Structure 1
Amino acid sequence: MRHILPALAATALVAACASAPGQFGYTVPAQPEGSSGYTPKPGWATSKFAVAAANPLATDAGYQVLKAGGSAIDAAIAVQMVLTLVEPQSSGIGGGAFLLHSSGGKVEAFDGRETAPAAADGKLFIGADGKPMPFDAAVVGGRSVGTPGTVRMLEMAHKQYGKLPWAQLFVPAIQLAENGFKVSARLNTLLKDEKYLKNDAVAAAYFYKADGTPVDTGSTLRNPALAEVLRQIASKGSNALLQGPVAQAIVTKVQSHPSNPGKLALSDLAGYQAKKRDPICSDYSAAGKAYRLCGMPPPSSGAIAVGQILGILNNTNAASLPLTSGMGGVPGTVAPTPSADWLHLYTEASRLAFADRGQYLGDPDFVQPPGGSWMSLLAPAYLSERAKLIQPTGASMKTARSGVPGVVKTAYAPMPDQPEYGTSHISIIDGYGNAIAMTTTIEDQFGSRLMTDGGTGKAGGFLLNNELTDFSFTPTDAEGKPVANRVEPGKRPRSSMAPTLVFDKNTGQLVMSGGSPGGALIIHYTAKTLYGVLNWGLLPQQAIDLPNFGSLGGPSLLEEKRFAPATVEALRARGAEVREMNMTSGLQAIQKTPTGYFGGADPRREGLVLGD
């Protein structure tokens, strides 16, 4: 074990060594406080297995599971349950997730995305004035809550790939919830900035003190309600969440919101089905090597958009443009950065990809792919044609139109721009060679701002998602043509989550697992890391550390205080509108190396990699 927090490592190692094969004994580790700024991280080398997650306690739970002989899926379950407790603003049992799994060269995609209630329709987010609701007005309350799918999806994956008993995997989160965890600086900071959470009585009592200020950094926070709900799920499986008293508590919370009630019903929860889908895998060449990039298919747009951006770049001279010395690092330091010429090509490719995303992408159970196949959007000939729209040394296109992939045009209207937020990412490679990339979310920070105790009558509980606001608020265009990602009963909203597994195309061997939170910017954070490792030869930590950048179809977005003024001005000289802004990714990535693995975690959050 190398480059890990000594106190965290020592307790985990003692506990793990005491565990017999097939029997998982959990020991609560020392609890370091996380940070909320930019904390440089070394990257971590391991030889047998590795787990990367967004919080040290969650990472450690996964580590102890792997040490006890658990599989990557086992570890992912333990990590997710702890994240529900220690990173409640981002993901949890009240939300949804996408999981990619690789075993013996076989890649499978598990879809735990939330669904719209049966009573919802295209006018869900249209106000009394006939106009789309303001985003925050739609988010806060029961209207935005979709049927949570994370637990049922993990249950499906565990039945196929679990090695340790389901109930044992909940022990870390239950113990931490009962005995308490130390509030991180990041959670405290986000609570200070939060406007709406105090309006929910359950959340206010749990997250805030009597004077209205958030629980202090370093203070111990206990969640007996969540411990009880997790005990029920450990004993009875996902039915304990989606049927019975917990389900009733969720529905009551959603339907009884005083100003913004939702339509979620008990039948929506009981009828929820996780799905196994065929992954989206595309060829990619970089630095003379051939790779296969595998990601989630629709309803996620992540894999298609990432594949399009990288594929379009390969039809330009981007590969001949190396990193340059510049600002790049923590403010006041010098580190490698992409050049203005490369950023021009990247943001132009992004505009093209996001135009297709807005036109074509939606739940495949409701939306037909162009040309009869989602792979039409990644066809080499199509990407070559799209790349011809870029002027390598000329002006920015500023905005792009969607293309016509395949031979069949679809009859959908482009989706108007609207915000996307939230999420957490987990990457794990176990001692058996299995790998997972899992991105998990409740959407906005603190989701719908509704917290339920699950009917336990105890303090605390878990937050409910606001995933339905990932649908288009506008169901049709001015001519009545439907938007692919409009609200429909039982439909899954389009996502940007981009959990990714990379393979050597010639040998089939795993190269890398990675992904990020960040709303629609997930696509760019993930693409940046892939490009950094595969094209520029960086270690995962170095690629994660690179400044963030991208375009969602309009302005060129650059991480503030990370690019030299000359780079910004060079992009503006091409006619691009450039916005420098906070771009808080939460990347995790693990790369296969000749001696084992090397993992990286985002310095912008409190993540950590552990392994032997």
Structure 2
Amino acid sequence: MVVSASHYASKAGLEILKKGGNAVDAAVAVQFALAVVYPNAGNLGGGGFMVYRAAGGETASLDFREKAAAAAHKDMYLDSLANPIVEKSLYGHLAAGVPGSVAGMETAHKRFGKLPWSELLKPAISLATEGFQVTSRQAAELNGQAYRFHRHNALGTALLKGSGSWKEGDLLVQEDLAATLRHIAERGAAGFYEGPVAALIIEEMQRGGGIISAADLKAYRAVWRQPVTGTYRGLKIITMPPPSSGGIALLQLLQSVEPYPLQRLGFNSDSTVQLMVEAERRVYADRAAHLGDPDYHPVPQKQLLAAGYNKQRMSGFDWSKAGSSAAIAAGLAAPAEHEETTHFSIVDRAGNAVSITTTLNGSYGSHVVVKGAGFLLNNEMDDFSVKPGAPNMYGLVGGAANAIAPGKRMLSSMTPTIVEKDGKLFMVLGTPGGSTIITSVFQTILNVVDFGMGMQAAVNARKIHHQWLPDEVFLEKGAVDSTARQRLTQKGYRFTERGAIGRVDAILKTKWGYYEAGADPRGDDAAAGW
């Protein structure tokens, strides 16, 4: 089974599984297909994280997060008065970190793949060459971003309609991207980080005042890291370590609520919502103070996940009133993260499972398409603390643990996760959503484990989100009924309705041994099973 943000990508993964490929082979096909059919987050010019579990129980996690270029420095987005220049880290060439996705896919394939590398890129090459039909959602997004594409791509891009506006069913053909994919199919990661494609990236950097160099590209490596593991109600949780903050925060949240009878309290009752909010308040305060790239900052992982730590953190919790984020403060708040990421989950016939979350950061990243190469560059540099101690455009303040440094990986909330039950595969899940990723994965697990939902129902269920600062409870419309909301408001909680929270794509192994998909209806997401 494959669940992803696009039916084209899910079909590409399924084709590989039918040819005898394993979950990692299918993941490579899905990643490259998403770079073609889901350009706002699928990518060659971004990065991400993978959590893997072999059918026999072996686990691994791969960090292919982008890195700051060697010429990057902590003051690069400040003006002469040391004030942040917001646009510089959000749009254009200077916003891009060194991409990691292509290296990540090659690294994963070399260790776990089965089919020939070139075979895995055929679906993506076909989609780029022959084109695909854009959905109504994609047409609206491309039209809405047209002015930025014009601004940052003076030489044009396939993402701009020649005349008029994009409409549902229009064919998007990307010949330059197809050429890049052919180079990668022939030479692996070297077809991207060296040779003609690398030369096009450097030309683009020089044209737009970017700082990524040929040496930066050639030096990039994906890194195998030890997965973060923990338990929840007898289940084993396998998730991503730093520089993702997601895995540690997810386990902290689960530890925080485990002592309480959630099943009896009920799905999104006032008591359950209060409990989740108070856990999230404490965990996001810790995240802000303590998490960053472990190669540059000592992350106190053992202390944060030590038995009793999160129970002690919840000891000040008072059922009669709302907690105060000012009183909980553990440090400086982390910068806000963009929500346009994408996730896919895959299980093959043998039971090998892959959970991958990947991103350009903002929707369509930096909006810079590498001329002649056809792919978008990320704007991940905005995920660093642009100026530690100063508020960013969202009024949030970043800590020194996540300050810009040459070669450093920026902090992320991406939380690809695999869950075991009785030593066997139980669930594969993850989501886009910036800072809401962690709480979306958290609630989806609770929905299945505590509230007895199937996978699709758990994904569909309306969500809430609290991230310590601002001290508000964000919720999807209808997530909390009027009675529960009134009771919580009387206790001092403040609610803000917002649009969709997360886009979870997940797989559940049922008690009958079948796989059940959860493809999020908040997007054009689709499952493909066989």
State TM-score, norm by structure 2.
Answer: 0.94
Equivalents in 2 of 1:342, 1:58: separation in Å? 36
Structure 1 residue 422 displacement after superposition: 1.5
Aligned to 2:332, which of 404, 414, 433?
Answer: 414
- Corresponding residue for residue 378 of structure 1: 305
3-state secondary structure, aligned to 1:111: strand
Q: In the alignment, which residue of structure 2 is the partner of 1:448?
A: 366
Structure-2 residue corresponding to 1:345: 275
Match of 1:81 in 2: 32
Pick from 428, 434, 440: which aligns with 1:513?
428
- Report the Cα distance in structure 2 between the residues aligned to 1:435 and 1:510, rounded to whole angstroms: 8
- Following superposition of structure 1 onto structure 2, how do residues 154-553 of structure 1 map, counting pairs within 5 Å? 154-194=105-145, 195-201=147-153, 205-211=157-163, 213-257=164-208, 261-285=209-233, 290-323=234-267, 338-370=268-300, 374-399=301-326, 401-402=328-329, 414-453=332-371, 455=372, 461-476=374-389, 483-504=400-421, 507-553=422-468
Which secondary structure does the structure 2 equivalent of 1:600 belong to?
A: strand
Question: 1:206 aligns to what SS in structure 2?
Answer: coil
- Give 2:57's aligned residue: 105
**Residue correspondence of structure 1 range 21-36 to structure 2 within 5 A:** none
Contact 1:351-1:400 within 8 A present in 2 as well = no
Identity across matched positions, percent: 35
What's the CA shift for 1:317? 4.6
Structure 1: 5+ residue stretches without partners: 1-49, 324-337, 404-412
Structure-1 separation of matches of 2:98 and 2:317: 41
Secondary structure class of the residue paired with 1:164: coil
**1:520 Cα offset (Å):** 0.9
Closer/same/farther in 2, CA of residues 315 and 397 from structure 1, 3 Å limit:
farther
Cα RMSD of the aligned pairs, angstroms, is 1.9
CA deviations on 1:509-545 (whole Å, 9 max, x unpaired) are: 1111000001111111111111111111111110111
1:207 alignment partner, SS class: coil
**1:560 aligns to what?**
477
469 and 255 in structure 1: CA distance in 2 versus 1, 3 angstrom threshold:
farther
Tell me, what secondary structure is at the counterpart of 1:572? Answer: helix
- Assess, with a 3 A threshold, how the Cα gap between structure 1 residues 203 and 443 changes in structure 2: closer, same or farther: farther
Pair 1:587 & 2:504 matched: yes
Which residue of 1 is the match for residue 487 of structure 2?
570
The CA distance in 2 between the partners of 1:536 and 1:202, in whole Å, is 53
Conservation of the 8 A alpha-carbon contact between 1:121 and 1:488 = yes
Find the residue that maps to 1:386 and give its secondary structure.
helix
| Preserved CA contact (<8 Å) 1:498 1:523 | yes
1:108 partner letter: A
CA distance in 2, matches of 1:543, 1:502: 15
Q: Is structure 2 residue 5 aligned with structure 1 residue 54?
A: yes
What do residues 52-88 of structure 1 show as CA deviations (whole Å, max 9, x unaligned)?
1110000000011101110100001111111001100
1:398 Cα shift?
Answer: 4.2
User: Distance between the aligned counterparts of 2:135 and 2:104, measured in 1?
Assistant: 28
Q: Is the 8 A contact 1:90 1:445 kept in 2?
A: yes
- Kept in 2, the 8 Å contact 1:571–1:578? The answer is no
The alpha-carbon distance between structure 1 residues 361 and 255, as it changes in their structure 2 partners (threshold 3 A), is farther
Amino acid in structure 2 at the alignment position of 1:428: I
2:523 paired residue number: 605
**CA deviation vs aligned residue, 1:106-140 (integer Å, no higher than 9, x gap):** 11001100000111111122233311222x44211
Measured in 2, the distance between the counterparts of 1:208 and 1:144 equals 21
Secondary structure of the 1:62 match is helix
Residues 82/214 of structure 1: CA separation in 2 closer, same or farther (3 Å cut): farther
Residues 178, 560 of structure 1: alpha-carbon distance in 2 compared, 3 angstrom cutoff: same
State the match for 2:395 in structure 1: none
Number of corresponding residues: 519
SS of the residue 2:412 aligns to? coil
Task: Kindly state the Cα deviation for residue 402 of structure 1 after the two structures are TM-superposed.
Answer: 4.9
Whole-Å Cα distance in 2 between the matches of residues 419 and 600 of structure 1? 25
What SS is found at the alignment partner of 1:395?
A: coil
Question: Cα offset for 1:400?
Answer: 5.3
Q: Is the 8 A contact 1:123 1:475 kept in 2?
A: no
Tell me, in whole angstroms, the C-alpha distance in 2 between the residues paired with 1:441 and 1:575.
36
**Whole-Å separation in 2 of the counterparts to 1:595 and 1:315:** 30
Report the residue type matching 2:10 in the other structure.
T
Distance 1:417 1:238, change over 3 A: closer
How far 1:563 moved relative to its partner?
Answer: 3.6
Cα deviation for residue 562 of structure 1 reads: 4.3
The letter of the residue matching 1:474 is: K
Deviation at 1:387, TM superposition (A): 1.0
- Deviation of 1:569 (Å): 2.7
**Separation in 2, partners of 1:375, 1:191:** 44
- The Cα of 1:546 is off from its aligned counterpart by 0.6
- Do the aligned partners of 2:41 and 2:340 also contact (CA within 8 Å) in 1? yes
Contact 1:315–1:387, Cα closer than 8 Å, also in 2 = no
Aligned counterparts of 1:568 and 1:249: Cα–Cα separation in 2? 54
SS in 2 for 1:388: helix
Shift of residue 560 of structure 1? 2.8
Question: d(CA) in 1 for partners of 2:482 and 2:205?
Answer: 48
TM-score if structure 1 supplies the norm length?
A: 0.82
Matched, 1:114 2:114: no
Alpha-carbon spacing, 1:452–1:202, altered in 2? closer, same or farther (3 Å): farther
Deviations 1:284-337 (A, max 9, x none): 11xxxx0111111000001111111121112345443112xxxxxxxxxxxxxx
| SS of alignment partner, residue 463 of structure 1 | coil
Check 1:515–1:446 CA distance in 2 against 1; reply closer, same or farther (3 A cut).
same
Instruction: Measure the CA separation in 2 of the matches of 1:525 and 1:399.
Output: 24
Opposite residue 146 of structure 1, the aligned amino acid is: G
Higher mean C-alpha displacement, 248-257 vs 196-205: 196-205
Displacement of 1:190? 1.3
Letter in 1 for 2:229: C
- Listed one character per residue, the Cα deviations across residues 442-477 of structure 1 (whole Å, up to 9, x for unaligned) are 110000010013x45xxxx11100111111111357
Distance 2:327 2:282 in 1: 6
CA distance in 2, matches of 1:379, 1:203: 54
Question: 2: CA distance between counterparts of 1:247 and 1:215?
Answer: 30
Q: Give unmatched runs, 5+ long, in structure 2.
A: 392-397
